[in-house]
Chain A
Amino acid sequence: MSQSNRIDGGLVNRNQPYSFKFNNETMHGYGGDTLASALIANGIKLVGRSFKYHRPRGIMSAGSEEANAMVQLRTGAYTEPNTRATVAELFDGLEAKSQNHRGPLGFDVMAANDFLSPFLSAGFYYKTFMWPKALWEKFYEPVIRASAGLGTLSGQADPDQYDKGFLHCDLLIIGAGPSGLAAALAAGRAGARVILADEDFVMGGRLNSETHTVDKMEGSTWAETATAELYQLENVRMMTRTTIYGSYDHGIFGALERCTDHLYDGSGKPRQILWRIYSKQSLLCAGSTERSIAFGNNDRPGIMMAGAVRSYVNRYGVTPGKRVSVFTNNDDGWRTAIDLKAKGIDVTSVIDTRSIAAPYNVANAATIMGCRVVDTVGRKGIHTIMLSSGQTMKTDCLAVSGGWSPNVHLTCHQRGRPTWNEKQACFLPGGDLPVGMSVAGAANGEMTLQAALTAGHEGANNILSSLGINTASAKASKASAESAKITAFWHVTESRSRAWVDLQNDVTTKDIGQSFREGFKSVEHLKRYTTLGMATDQGKTANVLGLAIMAECSGKTIEQTGTTIFRPPYTPIPMGALAGRARGKDFRPFRLTPSHKFAEEQNAAFVETGMWLRGQWYPIAGETHWRESCDREVKATRESVGVCDVTTLGKIDIQGRDAAAFLDRVYANTFGTLAVGKVRYGLMLREDGIVMDDGTTARMGEHHFVMTTTTANAVSVFRHIEFCRQCLWPDMDVHLISATEQWAQYAVAGPNSRKTLQNLVDKAFDISNEAFPFMACGKVTVAGGIPARLFRISFSGELAYEIAVPTRYGDSMIRALMKAGKAYSIVPYGTEALGVMRIEKGHAAGNELCGTTTAANLGLGMMVSKKKDCIGNVLSQREGLNPDKPLQLVGFKPVDTTTSLSAGAHFVTKGDEATMANDEGWMTSVAYSPILNCSIGLGLIQDGKNRMGEIVTAANPLKRSSVDVEIVSAHFVDPDGDRLRV
């Protein structure tokens, strides 16, 4: 297809011809085109169908405010729906398709909706499809969603890469139009650290679309010159294709940089980067957005914003029409006629709503003052307009200007509210701006080029002064004069046809009136009821028009009516960019134990415990089910020896003259009496008396302890006791540092654990039962001098030790242990076997330390020393925590030992119904015990200690199971602890 609407001039690079496809038809454009400008060049007017009525729609704007021209860009897994053709940079090989039509774009069968419009007015789906109720989810909603809406997803994983990052600056300038460039020059020349960001791929903003001059240069040339200078300044970071999408606390902004969207192939580099920009000050130079006027059938292809028509003609060298008319309520709209005439394009008429003298003379065009466009004709492209004067005119492009709305969005992201300016007929930044933000240029209502240049320059200088940076002496650039007068005019009341306010959501003036009549009198309600201002454009061209019409309905002023809340993002942000790198296995970091490589070699199954990957079980040849491995590991450990990596337990190095006293305060039980070289089990309470964590603490020296925590609570316990140290008792001489990562620690458990270790620990260290009894600890060396720490403690209930070496020797240590225990058929055991053995022994763990249990619940009430104070001591004595029949941790065995138990089952007296009223407690942990050859459980039940032998029912309605269980001791194995002390 030839570029029938391509004209001379513009900033496109005619030496860079591109081919692209729209709806499978090959077309041509140039470097510097957007998809929209290239479509216009190729004479395409119809580019999509509207949201609800499937009305034919064309391109209406030349920027990110576009409400109509949304396309499905690229193909396959790379496809992206709802891309605005006006900001999609053209590249060679681009493929795009129109959206939201059934059948070809030119013959959409869903266009029948347009004839059903009387039934599809605002809120129709709130009033219809009410019954039968069951059909809503299964039928009505899917049908509505299929017939309305926008593009479609590929259904495949996004193959693109995304990244995030952090930037810092003295001054963030948002927008590189005239005010932004002027500000950047002032701040950059003064040496400030500046970031200049613009969503466009060329800096200059409206300077590239207008024919004004700056410093006696064409505006676009001045912009190019300024940009070139700024690129040379090391202290200025130039960010094109970057949208500042949100303003957050403390001068922090969100920015989306589109890195490869303009390339056919991104070569594996991040497609987009989501930046967090930390600024000392910011200057919002975001410009303004032109809005429409509501009149009959104002949505036809070929009806565009007047400023956009200038953009296409001046910047892109394409004309949206051959016979153009202008409909305006302000002086700026006239510039479209003047610029088009200068390009030799036929301008048939300029219709101005104001009854004033024509502000400009447009040769060979009818200038009609005090008149309005009432209706238009041309289903797939406008060809006729009807005026309030009764005249009818032929035109193939109607350029409309209802005035310009400053882009105040970022000033409002922290609940700021703009203020209405009646003279300029627009909202201006008002109230409290985000910390450190100033506004300059059209975004601040400085609507002429000279005003914008001056405001940018002075705004930057003011900021520099506040930052203590000397300003350069240069003055603001000089621009050609222009007029920017406006008389507000919102909608043509004579129009009988539907007049669109929000083209993206098919909201008409009638919808707004109906919404008001039905009682939705707040603008926020109006928005939700009619969907005005929703979706990708967020009502950039529609909102002011909509609330002005609402104000008319209510008889209030626009100021009284107010605006809806502005929220980030300013323009749509792809979900992929928000996710960044956090996808798949990179969703979060993971931690590996020192024996991880060894475990992989054993084909271990791994389980995530927090961020750790721990060996869950270690299968051997012939084992096909995890239970086989787990049962074998338990039996081998109980019968001989097993080894388990317990590095994940938190280890906190505690030193200081007051270390023992400190531990007495943070633990419920006493540590001041613990001898050097001994370990003690410790119970830690929260301030409210609930158990926080448990573990063992070893006294390595008079003023030196090593505390262990559970894996899950390693961080929270450290944080808690560091808070105690710094904030509660700053006068205590105690210091803490995590040593979790420093030591590779292994549990060696089973009757042959000592013999195994005696093969490994250097002979100088006597670890016999007499020399190194239960709960002893000390420094040893292994394998001829490798430093180690040895603790005789047991979680399994067997004779057991934990031995730690510096992490660099962790891999060697597991292999050495396997070698040292080979004669005893040592096995590595995983967290499953560890769990089984601790349940068999009756040790509480995470399931029991669940944030609701007290020491008394766990049978550890005696540990809460009454001889000293500690965190949680007082509140643990609360009446509510000490009922007559408290929940008590006991064991449970199924009456029918072939039955499996389930954790989470609740206990009721046998024969009672499984109701909340009859609830007596719950099963906290269950396991199959290969020692007892049946399922066993731990649980909390009222008065459990006094109910030994009673049969109760463990009911699990979620699993529809009900099992009779006998209350037994929690210590299924070695209840007297004899095995520990041999």
Chain B
Amino acid sequence: MSDFNFVSQPVLGGFSQESQGVSITEQISLGIVSVACPNNGDEALAASAKKAFCCSLPDVSGVEVSDGGTMRWLGLQPQQWFVLFEHGADQGDPLAIIKDQLGDTAYCTDQSDSWVSLEISGPLAISALERICPIDLHPAVFPVAAVARTTMEHLGVIITRTGDDQFLMMSAASSADSFLHAITTSVKNITA
């Protein structure tokens, strides 16, 4: 038994808010692993991802859901993906979940602590995001299972649509307070 008490702390303490048609919830048990493809290793990586996770690698701005919906592969740039999956602090090393399966077919980096992840949902979610999100969120342009990198209030953000009026947004963990403030201010400004 260690003399030291280490507590896994969500960046925003597990923030959750529901306000007049908009919910904001911090995703506190999200494993995030960056997967990069070695040069000329496209086929090998595709095969190992298929074998290990039953997943086809999405194109940039696309999302593939695998393993019965437990894993989301976000195509962020050529030859690079983020894999998102449920992963509690007591479940060991999130990197190993992916790295052990993909082996040398990918370069993997744990990003689970790099990002604050906020889910925004509800009928007024898009109205709130209009105040800070420069990209077009119309469903014809940004449908469910689309992902984009953008900036909101000077902060880099990865946004993916997870439902008709539901989005997951990831921004740098260190500026989580500012990011949350940007979103809650937007919600406050659009609701009565």
Q: Which residue of A lies closest to B7 (CB)?
A: A812
The distance in angstroms between the C-alpha atoms of A586 and B182, with both chains bound, is: 9
Report yes or no: B4 in contact with A741, Cβ–Cβ below 8 A: no
Q: Which residues of B contact A735 (CB under 8 A)?
A: 36, 38, 79-80, 107
A163 in the interface (beta carbon within 8 A): yes
> Which listed residue, B135, B172, B178, touches A741 by the CB 8 Å rule?
B172
- Chain B, range 1-50, C-beta contacts under 8 Å to A: 1-11, 34, 36, 38-39
Does B109 sit at the interface, judged by CB under 8 A?
yes
Which of A28-36, A124-132, A589-597, A899-907 sits within the interface? A589-597
Q: Which of B6, B109, B111 contacts A813 (CB 8 A)?
A: B6
Given A165-B130, A166-B134, A655-B109, also A739-B114 (CB < 8 A): yes
Nearest to B78 among chain A residues (CB) is A726
CB-CB under 8 A from A807, the residues of chain B are 11, 113-114, 173
B8 — which chain A residues lie within 8 A by C-beta? 808-809
Cβ of A656 and Cβ of B38 under 8 Å apart?
Answer: yes
CB under 8 Å from chain B, chain A span 780-835: 782-784, 786-787, 805-813, 816, 819-820
Cβ-defined contact, A812 with B5, below 8 A: yes
Interface centre among A165, A655, A743 (most CB of B within 10 A): A165
Q: Would A782 and B130 count as touching, CB distance under 8 A?
A: no
Residues of B within 8 A of A741 (CB): 113-115, 172-174
Taking the nearest CB of chain B, how far is it from the CB of A465, in angstroms? 19
Give, as a whole number of angstroms, the nearest-CB distance from A715 to chain B: 10
Whole-angstrom CA separation of A25 from B181 in the bound complex: 44
A811 touches B9 (CB 8 A): yes
Is A731 touching B172 in the complex (CB atoms < 8 A)? no
* Interface residues as binary, B133-146 with A (CB distance below 8 Å gives 1, 0 otherwise): 11110100100000
**Complex partner residue of B130 from A167, A738, A740, CB under 8 angstroms:** A167
**What is the CA–CA distance of A221 and B114 in the complex, to the nearest angstrom?**
58
Type the 1/0 row for A709-753, where 1 means its CB is closer than 8 Å to any CB of B. Answer: 000000000000000000000011101011111110000000000
Given contacts A589-B179, A655-B36, contact A783 B6 (CB under 8 A): yes
Q: CB-CB contacts of B160-190 with A at 8 A, as 1s and 0s? A: 0000000000001111111101100110010
Say if the beta carbon of B153 comes within 8 Å of chain A. Answer: yes
Is the C-beta of B97 less than 8 angstroms from some C-beta in chain A? Answer: no
> Is A589 in contact with B130, judged by CB distance below 8 angstroms?
no
A811 CA to B11 CA, complexed, in Å: 10
User: Which B residues touch A166, using CB under 8 A?
Assistant: 130-135
Known interface pairs A591-B172, A807-B173. Does A737 touch B9 (Cβ–Cβ under 8 Å)?
no
A947 within 8 A of B: no
**A784 touching B1 by the CB < 8 A rule?**
yes
Q: Which residue of A lies closest to B79 (CB)?
A: A735
Report yes or no: A812 in contact with B172, Cβ–Cβ below 8 A.
Answer: no
Residue of A nearest to B94 (CB): A806
Chain B: minimal CB distance from A581 (Å):
6
A782 and B4 contact, CB distance less than 8 A: yes
Is B86 positioned at the interface, with any CB of A under 8 Å from its CB? no
Would you give the shortest CB distance from B174 to chain A, in whole angstroms?
Answer: 4
Bound together, the chains give a CA A581 to CA B185 distance in angstroms of 9
CA distance A483 to B132 in the complex (A): 48
Q: Is A612 an interface residue (CB 8 A)?
A: yes
Asked whether A816 lies within 8 Å of B6 as measured between CB atoms, the reply is yes
Is B141 touching A168 in the complex (CB atoms < 8 A)?
yes
Which of B133, B155, B175, B185 has the most chain A CB within a 10 Å cutoff?
B175
Evaluate contact between A733 and B38: CB separation under 8 angstroms.
yes
Specify which chain A residues have a CB less than 8 angstroms from the CB of B93 in the assembled complex.
Answer: 787
Q: How far is the CA of A593 from the CA of B177 in the complex (A)?
A: 12
Check B6 against A809 for contact (C-beta < 8 Å): yes
A663 to chain B, nearest CB (A): 15
Q: Which chain B residue has the least Cβ–Cβ distance from A785?
A: B2
- CB–CB A168/B138 < 8 A: yes
In the bound complex, do residue A737 and residue B109 qualify as a contact, i.e. CB atoms below 8 Å apart?
yes
Q: Is A161 an interface residue (CB 8 A)?
A: yes
User: With a CB–CB cut-off of 8 A, which chain B residues contact A872?
Assistant: none
Q: Is A27 an interface residue (CB 8 A)?
A: no
Determine how close the nearest CB of chain B comes to the CB of A739; give it in whole angstroms.
7
Contact residues in A for B154 (Cβ distance below 8 Å): 588-589
Interface residues on A, range: 35 or more
Q: Which A residues touch B109, using CB under 8 A?
A: 653, 655, 737, 739, 742
Instruction: Kindly list chain A residues whose C-beta atoms are within 8 Å of the C-beta of B107.
Output: 655-656, 703, 735
Q: Among the listed B6, B9, B115, B177, which residue makes an inter-chain contact with A786, where contact means beta carbons less than 8 Å apart?
A: B6
* CA A738 to CA B32, docked complex, whole Å: 13
Q: When A163-B189, A783-B4 are in contact, do A591 and B174 touch as well, CB less than 8 Å?
A: yes
Instruction: Give the contacts of A392-448 with B (CB-CB under 8 A).
Output: none
CB < 8 Å neighbour of A611 from B1, B113, B115, B175: B175
Contact B131 A165 (CB under 8 A): yes
* Bound complex: CA A269 to CA B80 (Å): 42
Least CB separation from A193: chain B residue: B138
Which residues of chain B have C-beta atoms less than 8 A from A809's C-beta?
6-9
- When the two chains form the complex, which single residue of A590, A653, A733, A784 contacts B39, counting CB atoms closer than 8 Å? A733
Complex Cα distance A731/B10, Å? 39
Task: Pick the residue among A591, A732, A738 that contacts B175 (CB under 8 A).
Answer: A591
| A891–B23 CA distance with the chains assembled, in angstroms | 58
- By a CB distance below 8 angstroms, the chain B residues around A167 are 130
Most buried by A among B79, B114, B176: B114
Contact assessment for B189 and A808 in the assembled complex, using a CB-CB cutoff below 8 Å: no
Which B-chain residue is minimally distant from A743 (CB atoms)?
Answer: B113
Assess whether B141 is in contact with A737, with CB atoms less than 8 Å apart.
no
Closest to A806 in B: B113
Cβ of A270 < 8 Å from any Cβ of B? yes
Which residues from B are CB-within-8-Å of A787? 93
Most chain-B CB neighbours within 10 Å: which of A164, A166, A167, A816?
Answer: A166
A819 and B4 in contact (CB under 8 A), knowing A731-B39, A741-B173, A742-B113? yes
In the complex, chain A residues whose CB is within 8 Å of the CB of B176: 592
Of the candidates B7, B174, B186, the one whose C-beta lies within 8 Å of that of A592 is B174
- Whether A783 and B113, one on each chain, are in contact in the complex, defined by CB atoms closer than 8 angstroms, is no
Say yes or no for B52: interface residue by CB 8 A criterion: no
With both chains docked as a complex, state the minimum distance between the C-beta of A703 and any C-beta of chain B, in angstroms.
8
Chain B residues with CB below 8 A from A273, complex form: 131
Query: In the complex, what's the smallest C-beta–C-beta distance from B77 to chain A, in angstroms?
Result: 10
Cα distance A783–B34 in the bound complex, in angstroms = 27
Instruction: Answer yes or no: B89 CB below 8 A from chain A CBs.
Output: yes
Tell me whether A590 and B113 are in contact (CB under 8 A). Answer: no
A570 at the interface (CB under 8 A from B): no
Q: Which residues of B contact A820 (CB under 8 A)?
A: 4
- Does chain B have a CB within 8 A of A262? no
Question: Is B64's CB within 8 Å of the partner chain A?
Answer: no
Residue A657 interfacial (CB < 8 Å) = yes
Verify B153–A742 contact, CB threshold 8 A: no
The answer to whether the Cβ of A565 comes within 8 Å of any Cβ in the partner chain is: no
Q: In the bound complex, how far is the Cα of B112 from the Cα of A743, in angstroms?
A: 10
For B141, what are the chain A residues with a Cβ–Cβ distance below 8 Å? 168
Q: Is the CB of A586 within 8 A of B113?
A: no
Interface check B59, CB cutoff 8 A: no
With A166-B135, A592-B175, A784-B4 given, can you name 18 additional A-B contacts, CB distance below 8 Å?
A: A161-B189, A165-B130, A276-B134, A581-B182, A589-B154, A590-B175, A656-B39, A733-B38, A737-B80, A737-B109, A738-B114, A742-B109, A759-B3, A787-B93, A811-B9, A813-B6, A816-B4, A820-B4
User: Can you identify 21 A-B contacts, CB atoms within 8 angstroms?
Assistant: A165-B132, A168-B141, A270-B189, A581-B185, A589-B179, A591-B178, A647-B174, A655-B36, A737-B34, A739-B109, A741-B115, A742-B113, A743-B113, A783-B2, A807-B173, A808-B113, A809-B7, A811-B7, A812-B9, A816-B5, A819-B4
Chain B contacts to A: CB under 8 angstroms: 1-11, 34, 36, 38-39, 79-80, 89, 93, 107, 109-115, 130-136, 138, 141, 153-155, 172-179, 181-182, 185-186, 189
Q: Write the residues of chain A forming the contact surface with B, with a CB cutoff of 8 angstroms.
A: 161, 163-168, 193, 269-270, 273, 276, 278, 581, 586, 588-593, 611-612, 647, 653, 655-657, 703, 731-733, 735, 737-743, 759-760, 782-784, 786-787, 805-813, 816, 819-820
6 shortest interchain CB distances as A-B pairs: A589-B178, A784-B2, A591-B174, A807-B113, A735-B36, A655-B107
